[in-house]
Amino acid sequence: SKGEGVLAGRKVVITAGPTREAIDPVRYISNRSSGKMGYALARAALAQDAEVILISGPVSLPAPPGVEMRHVTTAQDMHEATHDCIGNADIFIAAAAVADYRPADEKTQKIKKSGETMSIELVRCPDILQSVAALPRAPFTVGFAAETENVDEYARGKLENKKLDMIIANRVGADCGFDTDDNAANVFWSDGEQRFAKTQKSELANRLIALVAIAPEHICGVIVSVETAVRTNTVGDNHIELLLLELAACILVDVLGFSRKTDRERRRLQRRY
Ligand code: PMT
């Protein structure tokens, strides 16, 4: 790669695959995620020259060459690995199917068969996506919504409740979403949406990464970083150049409509200034 992709210089953290929550030393609660969607996103981001960290639950896929891997098992492990490397990330994409609940008490010995019924008490796992979106310097945060019904409505709810920048909704069921080679997605953000018809996950991932890369936040981010660079060292006394640059930024942000941002995005931009 020549470093000319749309994500050159950007750090992208992606979660993929299922988590496993132990019941006893030989049993666990998990789901049908194969990791294919998340791994495809990691490859697509790498192809656009991003620095990519892929935090993966247990899957049987090979590590994409060039991607930094973090292998985890439980939701708690994934939560810790994510916060270990999210510090200076520009983009976070949560494609993993993380357990919402885990057994309250992991037995140290194999549970023996006894009564006709048994129950396992479950407790909530940390919500990784929500915790990243709530960081004071949160990256551009993209969630997935895996739904079997009311796909768009539930996805929009997650976008709002978890205060995400973008959500990728996919229908999941016996024959779609999980553990298939293709997928379709409806993507929502504060003031827009885009629908992607069913295609190979690798192709869908390329399109999703292209969409994430041109999100207004980044375009503004680039302008702001150029400006900051100019302010702090390069231009020095050349006020005219600085003024021209500021004017260009204003035109892009205010006149050309890159400023249709949520309050949260605005606050972020202000902090960068
Ligand atoms: O892995 P594949 O077989 O290729 O299948 C792909 C997929 C269907 C798993 C993927 O496209 C997908 O939809 N991933 C999200 C699955 C999911 O758990 O969705 P959810 O609607 O339950 O969760 C919403 C979001 O919160 C997700 O971004 C999830 O990663 C995140 N989450 C959920 C629970 C939790 N404890 N922490 C989280 O971060």
| Residue 143 CB–ligand 1 contact under 6 Å | yes
Per-residue model confidence (pLDDT) at position 218: 53
Nearest to 168 by CA among 217, 95, 219: 95
Instruction: Tell me, using a 6 A CB cutoff, whether residue 92 lines ligand 1.
Output: no
pLDDT in tens, 68-95: 999 999 999 999 999 999 999 999 999 9
Taking the centre of ligand 1 as the mean of its atom positions, its distance from the CA of residue 245, in whole angstroms, is: 41
In angstroms, the CA 162 to CA 131 distance is: 9
pTM, two decimals, is 0.84
- The protein residue with its alpha carbon nearest to ligand 1, atom 18, reads 97
Residue 173: the pLDDT is 94
Predicted confidence (pLDDT) per residue in 178-214, tens digit: 999 999 999 999 889 999 999 999 999 999 999 999 8
Residue 189 Cα to ligand 1 midpoint, Å, equals 17
Measured CA to CA, the distance from residue 81 to residue 69 in angstroms comes to 10
141 lines ligand 1 (CB under 6 A): no
Whether 161 sits among the annotated catalytic residues: the reply is no
Q: Which atom of ligand 1 is nearest to the CA of 32?
A: 3
Q: Is the pLDDT of residue 137 over 60?
A: yes
Q: Which residue among 72, 127, 129, 162 has the greatest number of ligand 1 atoms within 8 angstroms of its CB, and so is best to mutate?
A: 129
Secondary structure of 25-82 as H, E, C letters: CCEEECCCCCCHHHHHHHHHHHHCCCEEEEEECCCCCCCCCCCEEEECCCHHHHHHHH
Question: How many Cα atoms are found within 13 Å in the side-chain-facing hemisphere of 223?
Answer: 19
pLDDT at 4: 81
With a 6 Å cutoff on the Cβ, whether 144 touches ligand 1 is: yes
For the CA of 185, the closest atom of ligand 1 is 11
Q: Which amino acid is at 6?
A: V
